[in-house]
Amino acid sequence: MATTTLICGISGQDGAYLAKLLLSRGHRVVGSSRDAQLGRFSNLVQLGISDCVEFTSMTPNDFRSVVEVLTRFEPSEIYHLAGQSSVGLSFEQPVETMQSISVSTINFLEAIRSVNKKIRYYNACSSECFGENGTVAANESTPFRPCSPYAVAKAAAFWSVVNYREAYDLFACSGILFNHESPLRPERFVTRKIVRAACLIAAGSNERLKLGSLDVHRDWGWAPEYVDAMSRMLMQEVAQDYVIATGVTHSLKDFVSEAFLALGLDWQDHVTFDPSLMRPNELRMSRADPSRVRLSLGWHAETDMPTVVRAMVAADQEALR
C-alpha cells in the first residue's frame, strides 16, 4: 500500500513542492488547510498536482481537530509546515504567532502520542531561532537566541519536539531551515517583492522599489531542494534535527543587485531606502554550517543564490507576459 502522508500547510511554497516530490514517489498525499472547501491551492494548481491530492479541513491549534484528521486518514508520516510565517508580522501579532506555531506543534505531538506513536513527524523550524551569531556559522549545537516573536515561537516548537522525542520515544524531528526561495514565494516576502518590482520596472513601470536595510545577510537556497532534505529526515533510522542551508551567506544588497542585473538594470537607479520598513529588532547576520546533513543524509544544496534569483526573475517575466 502507498505511504499516506499528511502535509499541514500544503498550500504554501514548501508544502506544494513537497507534495509534488512525494507524489512522484507514489505517496498518497493528504493536504490540510483551515477550510479546504474554500482553499484556492494556487501553488498546487501551478505545479499541476491539485487533482492528485486529497484535501481536508483541520485547525492545528484545536487538539480535537488534529486528532480527528489523524484518526480518519491514518497517516504514516506528518509534515507540519503551517503557521504564521512572517517575521515582520509577528511583531504585530505575537499571540497569534505563538498559537499558530508552538501550540499547534504540541497538539500534533500529543495527538500522535494518543492516536499512533509510530507516526513519523517533521516540524518546520527556522534559522531565525539562532538570532545574532555574528560570523559564527550555526549548526545543530549552536544555542538559540531568538530576536522576534516568530523566532521565539519556533524555538518553543523545536524544544517541544525534543521533549516528546525523548520522553515518549516518538519519531519526531525538526529541520532548521535557512532562507529558501522559489517562484512560489508570496509577494509579502522581501525576496519576491524585489523580483516582482524589478520585472515590472524592466517592463516599463516608473515605480521605485522601497526597502529597509540592505545590509542584512542571509543564506538563500532553492526551495525544491530543501523539501528533499525534509523527506530524507523522515527516512532515517533514528530521528535527528538538522540545519538545512547552502553554507554561503550573501547580503540583501547582493540579492537586489542580482535581480536587476538579470534584467540588464542597475539597481541603484531604482531602489529607495524606507526606514518605516525596518523591523523593531532586525537580525543582521545569518550564517549556516550544514555539514551534518551532508555527512549523515548525503544532502547538499546544488543551487546558489544568483541562480535562484535568475529562476525567480524568469518565472515572473513569464507570468507578466
Judging by beta carbons within 10 Å of its beta carbon (0-12, 13-18, 19+), is residue 204 exposed, middle or buried? exposed
Catalytic residue among 121, 150, 164, 242: 150
| Catalytic residue list contains 122 | no
Instruction: Give 61-64 contacts, CB < 8 A, sequence gap 24+.
Output: 61/99, 61/100, 61/103, 61/104, 61/107, 62/107, 63/107, 63/110, 63/111
Catalytic residue among 65, 79, 128, 257: 128
| φ, ψ dihedrals at 184, nearest 5° | -85, -5
| Catalytic residue list contains 127 | no
* Beta strands 77-80 and 4-8, pairing class: parallel
| Catalytic residue list contains 128 | yes
Catalytic residue among 100, 104, 126, 286: 126
- CA 285 – CA 266 distance, rounded (Å): 25
Q: Which three cell numbers stand for residue 109?
A: 505531538
Q: Catalytic amino acids?
A: 126, 128, 150
